[in-house]
Amino acid sequence: MAILLTNDDGIHSEGLLALIKKLKDIDELVVVAPDSDRSSIAHAITLRRPLRLNRVSDLVLLDGCEEVYTCDGTPVDCVILGVSEVLKGKEVRAIVSGINRGLNLGIDIIYSGTVAAAMEGALLGITSVAISADSSDKTIFEEAASFIKDFLPELLKKGLPGHTFLNINYPRNPRGIKFTRQGYRVYSGRVLRYEDPWGRSCYWISGDVIEKLEYESDIWAVSNGYISITPLHVDLTNHDCLNSLREWFM
C-alpha cells in the first residue's frame, strides 16, 4: 500500500518536495512526476509515441524517498504509469497531485494538469486530491504540505463518492477551511502578436483574469483567507439544460 504523488510543475518543483518531506511520515510514497513543467496541459494523454520512466537516484534531494520516477509525458500519463506499472499489483491508498505553484480556481480546473492528475485518479477509483498554493510566499508549500498530512488520513477514513475528487487551494496565512463550489474565473483570451527575427508573425496566448466573488465559491474562500476545498466530479452534464432540452424537443 502506498500514496502516489505527482504534479504538473515537474520533478524539480518545491511544492512536490514539500509533499515528499511531510507525507513520508504517514505512508510509503511513490513519486511519478513529469520531467519538466507541464502546466496547463489539462487531461492530455500521450498516445502517439512511447513513454519513458526514469528512476531518480538523488536521494538527498528527495529527502530519502526511494521510489521516485520522472516521466517524459503528461501528469495524467504519470498517474496511469504510476498505478499500472510502478505500483502494479499494489493497493494505491491515495493520489496527491501538487503542490501546484499558483492557485487553481474557477475555470483553471479545466486547464490544470494538477487537477487533471487527481481526476484521473478518481476515474481509477482511487481517493485523489489536487492541491495548489498561492506561490507568492516560499514557506507556503511547507504549510500546505502539513495541512495535507493532517487532512488526508481523515479523508481516507471517510472516503469520497465514486468519480469524485477534491480540489484544494491554499492561500497565504489561512484563517480556516471552507468547503466550496467551483467559482467563476475565466480569462479574456488575449493574444499577443510578435515578429520573430525573420519578420514572421508569432503569437503568445495570454489573458486577463475576470472573476466574480460569489459567496461560498472557491474564489470567494481564498480571497477571504480560507483554505478552499471543492469536491469535483467528472460528470460535466448541465442537468437543468438537459431537462429543458427534453421539454423543448421531445
Residues making contact with Mn ion (CB under 5 A): 8-9, 39, 100
| Full strand arrangement of the beta sheet holding 227-233 | 53-55, 68-71, 29-34, 2-6, 92-101, 128-133, 164-170, 227-233, 177-179
Ramachandran sector of residue 205 (left: φ over 0; alpha: ψ -120 to 50; beta: rest) = beta
> Nine-digit cell at 245?
432540452
Bridge partners (DSSP) of residue 233 are 164
User: Which cell goes with 176?
Assistant: 480556516
Min dist CB 217 to Mn ion, Å, is 21
Closer CB to Mn ion, residue 100 or residue 128?
100
What residue number has its CB nearest to Mn ion? 39
Between residues 100 and 127, which has the closer beta carbon with respect to Mn ion?
100
Residue 1 Cβ, how far from Mn ion at the closest point, in Å? 28
The three three-digit cell numbers of residue 117, written as one number: 492528475
Residue 39 or 182: the one with the smaller Cβ distance to Mn ion is 39
- What are the residues facing 29 on neighbouring strands? 3
Nearer to Mn ion, 87 or 121 (CB): 121
* Beta carbon of residue 131, minimum distance to Mn ion (angstroms, whole number): 11
Q: How far is the CB of 155 from Mn ion (least distance, A)?
A: 22
